[in-house]
Amino acid sequence: MLPNATLTGVDPAENTGYTGVMTPPDASTAARPASVAARFLFLSGRLCLDFVHTGGAAERRVFEEWHTPGDLADWLAASPLRVTGITVSTTDLRAAQALREAIWHTAQACLRRERLPTAQIERINRLAQAPDLAPQLDGATQRSVWHPARSLSAALSTVARDAIALFASEQAHSMRQCANPQCLLLFVDASRPGKRRWCSMDRCGNRAKVTTYRRQRAQGRATGPQAE
């Protein structure tokens, strides 16, 4: 993950949409304000991975976006869930952060082809047992909206269920971490050759190309013009 200040110019072509359990956005909040959306990263194409990309412990601490319960509420509203009206407490924030760690460590075990961590799996499974966000059909607009009885527990259940769907699927084997060691973003490689390296070309791919180009030019200057 890179600091948010570097997030401008995200390539829409790389953001290919959600591939997992897609839940319908609340029609009343479907248009998220650009100022809110720009605070957060929604690049992975997967709800549970975008959830992870909000920060974390250890080397991910510098990327923390959830400093207050209000930050988490803002993320839920800006996320593809587009769920608003949830009151978040400090305890709720800690629960969300714990789920984030559980998904991160499970993803890391997947990437390393290791046995999935039991305690983290139990945490994901426990949260998924709660009822998730319930979609309702709005007769007036013929759109899908969330049931008014929404809660953080339901939102976390939705995220946990998306994580279970991902880790239990073939897509778990296509999950990658961005090749930029400073980035740490995860994504599911849906490319046909299966050789995608970057979270997105604009964020990390083009930056690496420029670095390689500059290095090659510098080497060319150092060795002088080549005889033909």
Alpha helix locations (H) across 87-137? 90-111, 118-128
Q: According to CB under 5 A, which one of 183, 186, 188, 201 is a site residue for Zn ion?
A: 183
Shortest distance, CB of residue 181 to Zn ion, whole angstroms?
A: 9
Shortest distance, CB of residue 195 to Zn ion, whole angstroms?
A: 15
Shortest distance, CB of residue 204 to Zn ion, whole angstroms?
A: 3
Between 175 and 199, CB nearer to Zn ion:
199
Between 11 and 64, CB nearer to Zn ion:
11
Q: Which stretch binds Zn ion (CB under 5 A): 90-98, 125-133, 165-173, 184-192?
A: 184-192
Shortest distance, CB of residue 187 to Zn ion, whole angstroms?
A: 9
Cα 72 to Cα 15: distance, rounded to the nearest angstrom: 22
Cα 74 to Cα 86: distance, rounded to the nearest angstrom: 10
3-state secondary structure string, 201-214? HHHHHHHHHHHHHH
SS3 category, 111: helix
Amino acid type, 173 = H
Shortest distance, CB of residue 197 to Zn ion, whole angstroms?
A: 9
What tokens does 29 get? 């909040």
Site for Zn ion in 96-115 (CB under 5 A): none
> What is each CA distance from 177 to 94, 163, 200, in whole angstroms?
25, 16, 11
For the stretch 103-141, what's the b/e string if a residue is b when 16 or more beta carbons lie within 10 angstroms of its beta carbon? bbbbbbbbeeeeeeeeebbebbeebbebebbeeeeeeee
Shortest distance, CB of residue 44 to Zn ion, whole angstroms?
A: 11
Q: Does 44 bind Zn ion (CB under 5 A)?
A: no
Between 82 and 203, CB nearer to Zn ion:
203
Helix then strand then coil, in percent of the chain rounded to 5, is: 50, 5, 45
Between 25 and 55, CB nearer to Zn ion:
55
Contact string 142-181 vs Zn ion (x = CB under 5 A): ------------------------------------x-x-
Contact string 194-213 vs Zn ion (x = CB under 5 A): -----x---xx---------
Binding-site size for Zn ion (CB under 5 A) equals 7
Q: Which residues bind Zn ion (CB under 5 A)?
A: 178, 180, 183, 185, 199, 203-204
